[in-house]
Copies of this chain bind each other. A is one copy, B any other.
Amino acid sequence: MPAPERIWTAALIVIGDEILSGRTQDKNVAQIASWLNVQGIRLREVRVVADESDAIVEAVNSLRTGNDYLFTTGGIGPTHDDITVDAIARALEVEVEIHPEARAMLSGYYETRGGLTEARLRMARVPAGSSLIENRMSGAPGIRHGNIFIMAGVPHITAGMLDSLTGTLEGGLPVLSAQIGCWVAESEIADLLGATERAHAQCQIGSYPFFREGKTGANFVIRSTDAAALDRCVAALSAALEQGGWPVVAGGI
């Protein structure tokens, strides 16, 4: 029997009053979750906290141990409500310092945009001991400190930072998934789903009901790190549903 596979995990802290007030629909959870999965890393928990130092410190210190990686988004701009760097430095009990490479980057970026003011220089501040994460979209870089990755809040800037990290983090086997759908109330096939999952120990089955055009349906997502096990589970579930009289839509509805 092979040794049990090592599972790599990450947590994410979304920092921002705008998410907690309902003003802004978060996009970073789904984006980072999908990206992590391709790296073979599972997102295990997300916390959304306010732009308050104590809340950030508590979340960072709860999540940076117990997970291989911790990501944060938001609060690294030049304005007074951008307190992420200071709060993370406080959590890590290190000083905040100007990163010389970040200063040089910002200096270049703002050369034709009015110069490097004091407010802009704030974006070169990092917890002491950090390295930078490239930002291809605008001047201010992301920040890496040990297993902590401090990213932008604006989703397309975060996307650029993730792109520059692709392939650089150690991970395990990515979770593979397949989806099938049926026009059936999930309560009708609950037993069938449970029995199929129990018979396929390497797979998890999620059931996601919906109501469209006045009709009840559900999509079923089968997940596994083993491609052959995944295929077997999808085949078994599809056969059981078809046998029950519910035509299966491959790929989901």
Question: Which residues of A pack against B, CB within 8 Å?
Answer: 14, 17-27, 29-37, 42-51, 55, 77-81, 110, 113-114, 117-120, 122-123, 137-138, 154, 156, 175, 177, 185-188, 190-191, 193-194, 197, 204-211, 221, 223
Contact = CB atoms under 8 A, between A and B. Distances in A.
Contact of A77 (B114, B119, B209): B209
Given A45-B49, A119-B191, A154-B210, A21 B223 contact: yes
A15 to B, nearest CB: 11
A53 to B, nearest CB: 14
Instruction: Please indicate which of the listed interface residues A25, A43, A78 has the most CB atoms of chain B within 10 Å of its own CB.
Output: A78
20 contacts: A17-B223, A19-B29, A19-B46, A20-B33, A20-B44, A22-B36, A22-B37, A29-B48, A44-B55, A45-B47, A77-B209, A78-B190, A79-B186, A79-B190, A80-B190, A80-B207, A110-B187, A118-B191, A119-B190, A122-B190
Nearest to A120: B187
B23 A221 contact: yes
Given A20-B43, A33-B22, A80 B194 contact: yes
B50 A47 contact: no
B177 A23 contact: yes
A113 B137 CA distance: 54
Nearest to A58: B45
Contacts of A23: 177, 221
A80 to B, nearest CB: 4
A32 B29 CA distance: 17
Given A119-B190, A123-B187, A20 B34 contact: no
A175 B21 contact: yes
A77 B207 contact: yes
